[in-house]
Structure 1
Amino acid sequence: MAKMRQADAERDAQQIVELTEMAHRTGEELAPIIRAVRQDAEAGRVPERAQVDKWQQTMRRLIAQFADPPSGMTATNVARGGLRSAVDQAAVAVDSVALALAGPTTGRAERMQLAARQATLAVTTWSVAATQLDQVNIDAGQGHQHVHLDVGEVEGALGPDGSAEGAGG
């Protein structure tokens, strides 16, 4: 039994490292999209079709990386599931922008506001998952790992705890 627990812990430690690296990469691509959706809605504008198409391509790729997750320990699975849900929510926000762009000009500002709300929910969901992933890294002896999205202040979103990266490992 002890060998099985040790094997599970080693497998999970590797998954934590891989998930943290993926979260960093994903966040670097996701944050500018979310920031732009929110800024466009706030300014009462819609982006160009080519930009929205590019965002949708990026979102499909980001979603695909979560398509076949490995089975890990519960805490790691929770972090992974939260990140995946946040990416899915951000994709819905981008799709809403596409609908706002394709639809009539009447009501466009309201549809963009809805997209911004969806993007905000994605940030909030990501922040919970990022906090979980930080704790998982600490528990695995790798110290603090902050993968929170750099999108500015978002009401209800959790921020990094202020500890130095790698501290507490």
Structure 2
Amino acid sequence: MSRKTGRPSRPVARVVTRGLDRWQLLRLFSGLVVAMVIGIGVGLEIAGPSSSEASVASIRQAEAQRDVAQIGELTTMARNTKQLLTAVVSGLAATQPATDAQLAGWQQIVRQETQRYAVTVSGATATNVARGAFRGAVDMLSVAVDAYALARTMAPGQQQALLDVAARQRTLAVTTWSVAATQLDQLNVDAGNGHQHVYLTDRPDGGAMTSDGTPEGTKP
């Protein structure tokens, strides 16, 4: 005899599914949009540079631009000084004594250039080193001219010692200037200006550095 299936003792709950009306859909959509906007904003804040990082980058860019400008200014100044000092350097090495007019001209030149390089300009370390070496070279050449002038006031038998001092100071000045010129040449290459040569002499006097022969403005 088959068993009959009876009704359950407890009523089965009915699941009633209702559709969302348009206002509920609008609120849901608005919530999703707000969440998306917040998420994008947080992502950009995390991925993008902070205000401090942007400030540091701006400062570095300004310093780089300032340094390039200072390299150009120092190159122009050194080139002008070279043209003036060439007569002094060659005159101190000449075998013939200078005339009073020549000596007065040397004194005026070194006095003028000493004052020019005495002006302190703050810049990048590499540029400051080159500028300081140029200033030191001009000061040494000024001492050489002073020693030469003093020797002319001495008795003939007492002049040679001071003339030797003047010659040594001249050599030191040329050597120191060559170090500055080499540094400046590299600075110009790094700044994109190509090779710039401002050496006082083409001969390695006293171990002075000289140009490598690369044409002016040549870029690697």
Same fold (TM over 0.5): yes
Partners of 2:151 and 2:142 lie apart in 1 by: 14
Residue type of the alignment partner of 2:146? D
| SS across alignment from 1:163 | coil
Aligned residues: 165
Larger radius of gyration: 2
Identity of aligned residues (%): 48
Q: Counterpart in 2 of 1:5? A: 60
| SS across alignment from 1:155 | helix
Q: Counterpart in 2 of 1:145? A: 196
Tell me: higher relative CO, structure 1 or 2? Use CA pairs within 8 A at least 6 residues apart.
1
Partners of 1:80 and 1:53 lie apart in 2 by: 26
Residue type of the alignment partner of 1:27? K
Q: Counterpart in 2 of 1:84? A: 135
Range that drifts further, 145-154 or 51-60:
145-154
Partners of 2:202 and 2:162 lie apart in 1 by: 21
Contact 1:137–1:144 under 8 Å retained in 2 = yes
Partners of 1:11 and 1:30 lie apart in 2 by: 28
| SS across alignment from 1:134 | helix
Structure 1 gap segments, 5+ residues each: none
Residue type of the alignment partner of 2:85? L
Match of 1:56 among 99, 102, 107: 107
Structure 2 gap segments, 5+ residues each: 1-55
| SS across alignment from 2:157 | coil
The alpha-carbon deviation at position 151 of structure 1 amounts to: 6.2
1:101 is the counterpart of 2:160 = no
Q: TM-score, normalised by structure 1?
A: 0.92
1:29 is the counterpart of 2:84 = yes
C-alpha deviations, 1:18-44, integer Å up to 9, x for none?
1001101000110110111011xxx2x
Partners of 1:50 and 1:94 lie apart in 2 by: 13
1:125 is the counterpart of 2:176 = yes
Q: TM-score, normalised by structure 2?
A: 0.71
Match of 1:67 among 107, 118, 123: 118
Residues 87 and 151 of structure 1: is their aligned pair in 2 closer, same or farther, counting only changes over 3 Å?
farther
Partners of 2:163 and 2:93 lie apart in 1 by: 8
Partners of 1:2 and 1:104 lie apart in 2 by: 65
Partners of 2:152 and 2:203 lie apart in 1 by: 25
The alpha-carbon deviation at position 127 of structure 1 amounts to: 0.3
CA RMSD of aligned residues (A): 1.4
The alpha-carbon deviation at position 141 of structure 1 amounts to: 1.0
